[in-house]
């Protein structure tokens, strides 16, 4: 993938599927705990829960995106004092498709990093211990309704989460199976999405 995030040309999720995206509506499939040091302080990972999609949403994904993927889930990040999803490479995928239901605030950024003395693309499950060892290499501000294909082998964090962040994720461990054919050319990108 040339960029860390590619915006995709996919239809919005039907409202009734988004409306059921409530943490209490799904059985919890996994949680994650991580932390990282920043400016001498320990940054605790934002509360993270991921829930399997229901059959109707799975069918919509099959009809509109692909029926070939490893997992699909609805993710929630947040917590009153917890604003950061700490830098990591993903554990169970190399490419992730993300649909933003609620970004969790007006200034939530997905930030990509390279760790000192490490390659840009990492093995799954890498967890740098300090921001001091990281150099920012990309920053994206995704808005509600954006579809984004993410190279999750590059260390990334989510910064400035101010409320409950709700996203749909579809996962591929084999990048060749991800829907690259649906990438928007830059001129077609919606200005709501920013990168620098
Ligand atoms: Fe991630």
Distance 152 CA to ligand 1 centre (A): 6
Distance 156 CA to ligand 1 centre (A): 6
Q: Rounded to two decimals, what is the model's pTM? A: 0.87
Distance 123 CA to ligand 1 centre (A): 13
Distance 11 CA to ligand 1 centre (A): 23
- Overall residue count recorded for the chain in this entry: 196
Mean pLDDT for 85-96 is 94
Q: How confident is the model at residue 44 (pLDDT cuts 50, 70, 90)?
A: confident
Q: How confident is the model at residue 3 (pLDDT cuts 50, 70, 90)?
A: confident
Distance 43 CA to ligand 1 centre (A): 16
Cβ burial 171-180 (10 Å sphere, 16+ → b, else e):
bbeeeeebbe
Could you tell me the domains of the chain? 5-187 (2.60.120.10)
pLDDT for the residue 191: 43
Mean pLDDT across the chain: 86
pLDDT for the residue 33: 63
> Would you say residue 91 has pLDDT above 70?
yes
> Would you say residue 69 has pLDDT above 90?
yes
Distance 87 CA to ligand 1 centre (A): 8
pLDDT for the residue 101: 93
Integer Cα distance of 98 and 169 in angstroms: 5
Q: Which H or E element spans position 15?
A: helix 15-19
Q: Give the best-scoring range by mean pLDDT among 3-17, 63-77, 81-95, 109-123.
A: 109-123
Mean pLDDT for 125-136 is 95
Distance 71 CA to ligand 1 centre (A): 14
Distance 194 CA to ligand 1 centre (A): 19
Q: How confident is the model at residue 24 (pLDDT cuts 50, 70, 90)?
A: low
Distance 83 CA to ligand 1 centre (A): 15
């Amino acid at each position: 993938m040339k960029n860390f995030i590619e915006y995709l040309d996919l239809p919005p999720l039907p409202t009734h599927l988004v409306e059921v995206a409530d943490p209490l509506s799904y059985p919890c499939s996994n949680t994650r705990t991580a932390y990282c040091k920043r400016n001498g302080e320990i940054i605790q990972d934002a509360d993270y829960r991921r829930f399997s999609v229901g059959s109707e949403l799975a069918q919509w994904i099959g009809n509109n995106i692909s029926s070939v993927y490893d997992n699909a889930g609805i993710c929630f990040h947040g917590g009153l004092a917890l604003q950061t999803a700490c830098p990591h490479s993903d554990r169970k995928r190399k490419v992730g498709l993300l649909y933003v239901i609620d970004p969790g605030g007006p200034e939530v950024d997905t930030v990509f990093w390279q760790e000192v003395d490490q390659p840009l693309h990492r093995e799954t499950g890498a967890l740098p211990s300090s921001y001091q060892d990281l150099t920012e290499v990309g920053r994206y501000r995704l808005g509600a309704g954006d579809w984004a294909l993410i190279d999750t082998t590059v260390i990334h964090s989510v910064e400035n989460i101010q409320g409950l962040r709700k996203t749909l994720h579809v996962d591929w461990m084999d990048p060749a199976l991800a829907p690259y054919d649906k990438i928007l050319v830059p001129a077609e990108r919606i200005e709501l999405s920013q990168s620098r």
